[in-house]
Every structure is written in C-alpha cells, then in structure tokens.
Amino acid sequence: MKAYTVDGGRVVFDLGASSADLVSATPDAGWQMQVWKQPFWIRVTFTKGDREMSVFCTWNGHPPLVETYEG
C-alpha cells in the first residue's frame, strides 16, 4: 500500500503489478471529496472553495502510475 498526501487530504492505494485498488480517501477538515472509479483508473478530488486537488491512478497497459494535479 502507498499513501499520497496532498493539500485537501490523503489517499491510500493498493498498487499491484497491473492494477490498483483504492484503500481509503480522507479529506482534511473543511474539504469536500469525490471519487470516480473506472476499469483502468481511479480519481480522487478534494475541493475547498475555488481550490481543487486531484490524485489520479492509471494502469491501462502499464503498471499503476499515480499523479497529482492542482486545478
């Protein structure tokens, strides 16, 4: 398992060789959270006012890759 902490919260994934599972996603106080799951990716987005932080995990034909974005 691997944890990723960003402004807005913390996300934990169980990363396998060719897939991933979301273990937990916890927003910080005052932040909202949304989760989207598809066959080859998971997105967790934390929002507060006009701030948005997203954690993406993708594994379509490659080992799981986790990236973070501020929008």
Distance, CA of 16 to chain centre: 15
CB–CB of 55/4 below 8 Å? yes
* Amino acid code (one letter) for 32: Q
pLDDT of residue 8: 97
- Condensed to tens digits (0 to 9), the pLDDT of residues 21-65 reads 999 999 999 999 999 999 999 999 999 999 999 999 999 999 999
Q: Which of 58, 51, 13 shows the shortest CA–CA distance to 32?
A: 51
- Condensed to tens digits (0 to 9), the pLDDT of residues 46-56 reads 999 999 999 99
Number of domains, the chain: 1
Domain span at residue 37? 2-70
pTM score > 0.85 for this model? yes
